[in-house]
Chains A and B, each alone.
Chain A
Amino acid sequence: MGPRPWYIVAGAVLAVAMFLVLEAVAHAIGRHA
């Protein structure tokens, strides 16, 4: 069975959300470095 389309959409949204959180964390670290 191939991947269901909504898995791909949900995965992309989750990845963007995760990356944005990680970017915020990185910049918070940068401000305190």
Chain B
Amino acid sequence: MQQFSLEHVVGLVATALVAAVLVAIARVRAEPWAAGVARGLAIVLVLAYLAEHVTYVTRGTWTTRENLPLHLTDAVVLVAVAALWRPRTAILVELVYFWSLSAGLQAVLTPGVAEPFPHILYFTYFVIHSGPIVAACLLLLGCRRIPRPRAAWRVFGLTIAFAAIAAIGTVITGGNYMFLRHKPRAARCWT
């Protein structure tokens, strides 16, 4: 997908609109609605994540080099689902907030998906990468779950720990998890 093409911009606008609507619902309708909205988003994320893997398996392109859950995106999605389901667990909310607004935002701004609209992987890419960003907005702005003091350092430590696991996976499989071996094709920020 070409960066800032029509289909990319539509994905960005949809992300912003969904985030705004879900935050507004959570703020206006308060606790029971906020919990329902959060769990609904969690279910959508799980379905999109499974759909992406099923798509790779059915077309015979699922490999241990590329599709093990060792990219930060995988961790963000799975943590986002847990945080949306259990928003009172502070560390989950902190991980979603810091990871989605750093790694997730970069993935959405520099999309790494070859399949154009309306291919299923176009939709799963945006749901999987934009979903945690929407989740972070919903949890912070809608549900008012604010990261605790020194959360940045806690999340940085867990990021290093996950990077160590991804590095082991990268060496064993010959893959490029967390882009530790080389930067992704879609990276354009500092090239």
Contacts and interface: CB of A to CB of B under 8 A. Distances in A.
Contact of A26 (B97, B153, B156): B97
Interface string B83-108: 00000000000000110011000000
B151 A23 contact: yes
B144 interface: yes
Nearest to A23: B152
Grouping DSSP codes into helix (H, G, I), strand (E, B) and loop, the A interface class, with mixed when no group exceeds half, is helix
Given A15-B102, A27-B146, A29-B141, A22 B97 contact: yes
B157 to A, nearest CB: 11
Given A22-B101, A29-B140, 8 more contacts: A1-B182, A15-B159, A22-B152, A23-B98, A23-B151, A26-B147, A29-B141, A33-B144
26 contacts: A2-B181, A3-B180, A3-B181, A15-B159, A16-B152, A16-B156, A18-B102, A19-B98, A19-B102, A19-B152, A19-B153, A19-B155, A20-B152, A22-B98, A22-B101, A22-B102, A23-B98, A23-B152, A26-B97, A26-B140, A26-B151, A27-B147, A29-B140, A29-B146, A30-B146, A33-B144
